[in-house]
Structure 1
């Protein structure tokens, strides 16, 4: 922690901004208009300077030889890191960016790579961020995605898949959606004279959110709650990047579907 703090201070003295630093990495905003080659060259040089400086610091302060080595990893041509509420620094290792070396869109810790979000949200985030990063039009595309959702054309992408880490009876005081879906499943199995799945141990459950709450995919009876997916899946994904672009999801998505 001390080394990261010292490194951050050193980088700030050089005129650059550390937007996040943790136990093994530092993200630096160069604040310059550089091409890819110039950015890579500066990144390598900065890492080399820091290593030399740390070696001198350890020798002078503790009379120790430094075996620490900060390596330059990559340059992101476009980069997004959600900030901690009320702060200018990033929020742990959660980011997305376009790797300048291979044009690859990289996601770390965001919805696009988290299994507890629906495929709808993950694919929506990947394409929205790609369009924003590349400067491609996204307004009509976003409206079309909302239209596809409410027309029922994305139903196969609305499935949540989560794991009960404890037997179902342990979820008494507060039952999250996946536990409620598991309870529905076990009640249905009981009507079929079959043994329950989740009473004695946890397990995975696939479910959708309906107008009557979460229901297992295998025994879904109610209509899908499309407003839930709009508000809890698409909107949070868009708002996370719109806070920097200045757009409003409700305005961009349109509200015509609420008339029906």
Structure 2
């Protein structure tokens, strides 16, 4: 029998938090936060396996879906929403789905995470297919909404991954490509928006960024396909062009305006 312990629910190693000064609170939270990247490091082989699967599926025309509840669901939505402006990809290439629907982004929806059948219904609304990859995010690794969604994906030959913070959780046992980042008890007992949430965010950053780089959405170290949605990004784009083809700011600005992206401006520049 597989042993499963919710370390994310174990008691904090700090006592009497209410008696700590602000400086003590901040120092202790920071000390706990320092441990998170080392926990992520231990999971790098698992992350690599999942990214490799995502890249192969996307090259076949597939998409990436994150499903989660509460903080985990919100983190998936944040990562998905940042891919189009950062990498210039279609808005539906990376998708975040949260238990309870969009209203749950701002306010908790009662019992939404306990519905084991709803995630599959939510995915079906997106015309999920065998070319897609679905990643379930749950710090505890026990969220019924997420587990139920991955189970149905498995039944329909859809690749599944997971991000959780307890070893040998039910979610990890369900996913084909599980990622476990064991961060231990939280500073405030059970508050998995803290270290667990930080770990999930770091892993999501790694997954989406490395995937997009593998798909050619970064040149050198530059976001050459970023959406030019504000003055700061336009200025950044102009400076990227200058560094690539050594023209004046004015000429680079005109090229960017004409072609609409750094990549196209550089590719279409003629001496």
TM band (smaller chain):
under 0.3
Query: What TM-score do the two structures reach when normalised by structure 1?
Result: 0.26
The structure with the larger Rg is 1
Please state which structure has a larger fraction of its residues in strand.
1
Query: What TM-score do the two structures reach when normalised by structure 2?
Result: 0.25
Please state which structure has a larger fraction of its residues in helix.
2
